[in-house]
């Protein structure tokens, strides 16, 4: 198995959000951003320019074509180790697989022959997988940056433009997120009640029912993403500029699948049970209803992993626990197993997609209920966002707390956002509505934080057309989740300016000097 073409330490003393801040405005960005205190599944961030993309939709492609796209990670290479750090990416793809792709793996899950995700002017396919031969990877536990992949073309030094600090990107809110719609609430509560009827009739055990919200911005989607990621610090954040007319922003707290290329361990961390961050988490901890929701999905994911893992290797590696995230408490557990050697990422998707926490149990019947009750496609929401690498590692978040941005006219963008809840026999429609609203708060807070200073916006409103474009402020007060000072920005400019002189042709020699090689697992 060949080694990675390039592994080079970068002389950057900055956070991932500062790299996003300085990313060239003319270079489309793909970014997977881990926020908050590092955990074993959220220790790395990956940045790369968008190049060629594979776009999949159910009207034009079948399951075999989707699986072929998922497995196009490039020539396999050994895992990359730098001291005690094993980097998760050595080139491959970054992108999303939308919820409706689940019907490509299991056609019986879809009851209606709808238009799929090709909405908003036919701009949104069911999946977009972007080829990433080279990327900049940040390790949050050490603060170090690495240049990985193929040593050809422009490198990370050319992806950055520090002069943009003098002309910050801006955005403003032009249409608020309407969480107070009586019609929207009534429709959602009716879906919840119908789901309860099916459960009480013995048709299903649980289904995840969702509803949509919409908003609008003017200005830069990247500015919106930077504000949102800085203010919420999601464990599995992402911002993907998919083309000139579409972008995806995710503030997900939930891990769908993580595959370690060296050990072949695969893990999933389903979440079920939510309370607002201002409430006592003990109420969630002792809730039998919420515990039952999670236990069902844990059993479902054990079954999914059991279809592909080595016999006897699947276990609940972490029992139900309560985690704090930006605006909510979440109940979560972890299920892990060991994959056979050489198993492609498409097999993992075929066995586990869509994530159990956003479908229900039994999964296929729950998906049929969702298809019958919900008015339109979920698209990227409730799918998976992440990366697959040629070194055998993969990392995918569940695409919840996720906004789909579609260009309207000029610099005006429509924002589509969804939230939902797991429905069980003793669910109360009004309570489920409140939980659904609580899950929109993280996005509400991110947008409200960008309101022009002096504006009077209540917690139910993002703002309006009045006022000036709000500048990005990434000083110490705005970066509490990832503290960096203006001095660090100056140091970044100096190190980037110095490293440009090295040149692309010197990269292999630099990597050799630091003795950073891709080595096989012991």
Q: Where are the beta strands (DSSP E) in 23-154?
A: 29-33, 44-49, 53-56, 80-82, 85-87, 92-97, 127-132, 134-139, 144-149
Evaluate whether 226 touches 472 at the Cβ level (below 8 Å). Answer: yes
Instruction: Please say if 272 is a catalytic residue.
Output: yes
Catalytic residue among 67, 157, 241, 254: 254
Q: Is the C-alpha dihedral spanning 118, 248, 164, 169 positive or negative?
A: positive
Residue 237: C-alpha distances to residues 35, 78, 250, 354, 413 (Å)? 7, 27, 5, 19, 20
Residues with Cβ within 8 Å of 90's Cβ and at least 6 positions away in sequence, in order, are 4, 7, 77, 79, 80, 148, 149, 389, 390, 391, 518
Beta carbons of 390 and 90 less than 8 angstroms apart = yes
Q: Quote the DSSP letter at residue 482.
A: S
Catalytic residue among 272, 374, 435, 439: 272
CA dihedral 504, 510, 511, 513 (to 10 degrees): 170
- Beta-strand ranges (E) seen in 260-393 are 265-268, 271-276, 315-324, 328-338, 360-361, 384-389
What b/e sequence results for 324-363 when a residue is b if at least 16 CB atoms lie within 10 Å of its CB, and e otherwise? ebbbbbbbbbbbbbbbeeebbbbbbbbbbbbbbbbbbbbb
Closest CA to 252 of 439, 410, 116: 439
Cβ count near 41 (within 10 Å): 17
Buried b (16+ CB within 10 A) or exposed e, 280-306: ebeebbeeeebbbbbebbbebbbbbbb
The whole-angstrom separation of Cα 237 and Cα 251 is 5
b/e burial code for range 247-274 (CB count within 10 A of at least 16 → b)? bbbbbbbbbbbbbbbbebbbbbbbbbbb
The CA–CA distances, whole Å, from 22 to 29, 160, 243, 286, 493 equal: 11, 6, 19, 46, 10
Residues known to be catalytic:
254, 272
């Amino acid at each position: 198995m060949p080694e990675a073409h390039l592994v080079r330490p970068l002389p950057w003393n900055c956070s991932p959000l500062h790299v996003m801040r300085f990313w060239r405005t003319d270079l489309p960005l793909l970014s997977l951003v881990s926020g908050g205190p590092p955990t074993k599944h959220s220790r790395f961030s990956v940045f790369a320019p968008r190049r060629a993309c594979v776009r999949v939709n159910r009207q034009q492609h079948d399951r075999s074509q989707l699986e072929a796209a998922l497995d196009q990670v490039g020539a396999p290479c050994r895992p990359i180790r730098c001291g005690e750090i094993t980097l998760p990416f050595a080139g491959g793809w970054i992108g999303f697989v939308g919820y409706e792709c689940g019907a490509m793996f299991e056609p019986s899950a879809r009851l209606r022959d709808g238009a799929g995700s090709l909405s908003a002017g036919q701009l949104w396919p069911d999946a977009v997988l972007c080829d990433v031969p080279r990327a900049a990877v940040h390790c949050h536990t050490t603060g170090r940056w690495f240049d990985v992949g193929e040593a050809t073309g422009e490198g990370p030094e050319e992806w950055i433009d520090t002069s943009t600090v003098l002309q910050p990107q801006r955005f403003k809110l032009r249409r608020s997120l309407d969480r107070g719609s009586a019609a929207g609430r009534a429709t959602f509560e009716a879906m919840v009640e119908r789901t309860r009827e099916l459960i009480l009739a013995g048709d299903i055990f649980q289904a995840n029912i969702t509803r949509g919200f919409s908003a609008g911005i003017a200005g830069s989607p990247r500015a919106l993403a930077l504000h949102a990621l800085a203010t919420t610090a999601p464990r599995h954040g992402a911002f993907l500029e998919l083309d000139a007319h579409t972008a995806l922003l995710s503030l997900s707290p939930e891990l769908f699948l993580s595959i370690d290329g060296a050990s072949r361990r695969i893990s999933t961390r389903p979440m079920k049970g939510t309370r607002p961050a201002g409430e006592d988490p003990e109420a969630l901890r002792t809730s039998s209803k919420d515990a039952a929701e999670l236990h069902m999905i844990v059993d479902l994911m054990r079954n999914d992993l059991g279809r592909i893992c080595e016999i006897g290797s699947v276990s609940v590696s972490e029992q139900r626990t309560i985690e704090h995230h930006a605006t909510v408490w979440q109940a979560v557990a972890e299920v892990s197993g060991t994959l056979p050697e050489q198993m492609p990422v498409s097999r993992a998707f075929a066995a586990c997609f869509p994530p159990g926490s956003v479908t229900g149990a039994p999964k296929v019947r729950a998906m049929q209920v969702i298809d019958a009750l919900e008015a339109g496609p979920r698209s990227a929401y409730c799918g998976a966002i992440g990366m697959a690498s040629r070194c055998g590692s993969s990392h995918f978040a569940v695409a919840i707390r996720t906004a789909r941005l579609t260009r309207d006219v000029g610099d005006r963008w429509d924002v589509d956002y969804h939230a939902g809840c797991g429905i069980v026999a003793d669910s109360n429609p009004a309570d489920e509505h409140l939980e659904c609203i609580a899950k929109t708060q993280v996005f509400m807070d991110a947008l409200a934080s960008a309101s022009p200073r002096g504006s009077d916006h209540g917690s139910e409103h993002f703002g309006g057309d009045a006022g000036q474009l709000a500048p990005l402020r990434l000083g110490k007060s705005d970066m509490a989740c990832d503290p960096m000072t203006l001095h660090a920005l100056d140091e970044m400019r100096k190190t980037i300016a110095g490293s440009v002189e090295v040149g692309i042709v010197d990269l292999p020699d630099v990597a050799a000097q630091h003795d950073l090689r891709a080595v096989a697992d012991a």
